[in-house]
Amino acid sequence: MPILPIDAGRYGSREVKDIFEEEQALRYALEFEACVAEAQGMLGVIPRDAAYEIARKARSGMVRLERVKELEAVREHDVAAMVEALVEVCDDVARPWVHYGLTSYDVVDSRIAMQLRDALTIIEEKIKRLTLLLAEKAEAYRDLPAVGRTHGQHASIISFGLKFAVWASDMLMHIKGMEEAKERALVCKTLGVVGTGSLMGDKAVDVQARVAEMLNLRPVTAATQVVSRERLAELIARLVLIACTLEKIAVEVRNLQRTEIGEVMEPFREGQMGSSAVPVKRNPIKSERVTSLARMMRAMLGVALENIPLWHERDLSNSANERFIIPMSIILLDEMLGSMIGVISGLIVDVDGIRRNIEASKGQVFAEFVLDALIRKGMDRIRAYSMVQSIAFSASSSGMEFRDALKGDPRVTALLSMDEIDSLFDARRHLASSSRIIDGVVSAVHKVCRESTS
């Protein structure tokens, strides 16, 4: 029975998890063996009829996972068992040339790259979908003033749409970063035991180049027995960075859904239960899930970094943990993306609640603009700052509206008229360059996400 939640179907989409299933992993490895044989046959490294037979049998489905496992139980080596199972189904002409010039990690590293190639295609589409959703929300709420908070305190006025624009901009950065990381991580290797291509001689590099082209990968430039783990660590680092951005969005949703703030709410299906004990609870469970999984993601990066300094041309200290961190980092990020797509697409925004919160500080959220108005009238900045602070603190202590306190202070009214003071408390006047910023982000999002999928 399943032990891990990803095996029980709790996390990750079926399309991503299928890529890492044992049966599919075997098919990737056999496709690699087929391509290597074909390339070797084209270049005269092995006989052409042997190459044809190996490729045909590798793709035939005759090599069964059950048989590979039987052999592995005896050999205690998964790749050797796969090679032996392939040899068993080939004819006598081909058998000597199966896996020729290769080592086990040629298969493993190239198979991992093939899995990542296909899984990242799915991940990238979901990243683009989320980025487009964020851009849509940025446009929808571009003209809605809201409280901007720093240190958990009301600071100034922000366009509510700007929150989404910032996140969309972050996701664009990740889209570019992913492409760069893929260039270095999606590589194949056919260079044998210590990376020299020893049995294939001068043709080893040519074989590798042809195999890479067949598999839509890049040939590794240089390697030991294994592809340098910096490449995988960089890719996992990018996946973790994406996870952290998703958590940043999730934390903001969770905070804004607090009862005391009440500006947004996760979608809540009919029949859904927020609590087993409290019927009125509507908890931000999807955002909390994203936060929880982000912690797991960050832990996996540490393991990937530890795998970089292997002994000499390699040791086996990376092998066992990579069976966890590679599929898990992809599957968990897939789950996080799916959760956040659901949250953003169905997000309930309480416009009245946002407006109420602007008034919650009794106008003190406009202090930045009062300070600026006094400076523009010629008052020294430090004096103006101290005066506004003193009036605000006094008004807060007495429960007085900040605007009324300003109007009752002769130092202020000596410089600002009543109408001028009133105009400072119009939130719509303080969105500044928000529209230009949002327009720039939305334009960039459409260029990257829509044109790339058209």
Residues with a known catalytic role: 151, 275
The rounded distance, in Å, linking the Cα atoms of 353 and 266 is 15
Contact 421, 412 (CB under 8 A): yes
Distances (CA, A) of 242 to 249, 293, 334: 11, 12, 11
The rounded distance, in Å, linking the Cα atoms of 176 and 299 is 24
The rounded distance, in Å, linking the Cα atoms of 249 and 257 is 12
Q: Which one, of 208, 223, 210, 216, lies nearest residue 183 by Cα?
A: 216
Give the pairing of strands 153-159 and 145-150. antiparallel
Contact 159, 145 (CB under 8 A): yes
The rounded distance, in Å, linking the Cα atoms of 54 and 93 is 10
How many CA atoms does the CB half-sphere of 303 hold within 13 Å? 19
Contact 30, 65 (CB under 8 A): no
Residue 446 CB contacts under 8 Å (≥ 6 apart), including other chains? 132, 135
Q: Where are the beta strands (DSSP E) in 4-93?
A: none
The rounded distance, in Å, linking the Cα atoms of 129 and 338 is 10
Fill in the DSSP letter of residue 449.
I
The rounded distance, in Å, linking the Cα atoms of 217 and 113 is 8
Query: What DSSP string describes 369-419?
Result: HHHHHHHHTT--HHHHHHHHHHHHHHHHHHT--HHHHHHT-HHHHTTS-HH
Q: How many residues does the chain have?
A: 454
Count of Cβ atoms closer than 10 Å to residue 204 Cβ: 21
Alpha helices per DSSP H over 90-187: 104-140, 160-185
Question: What residue has token string 């599957």?
Answer: 331
Contact 367, 430 (CB under 8 A): no
Helix (H, G, I), strand (E, B) or coil at 158: strand
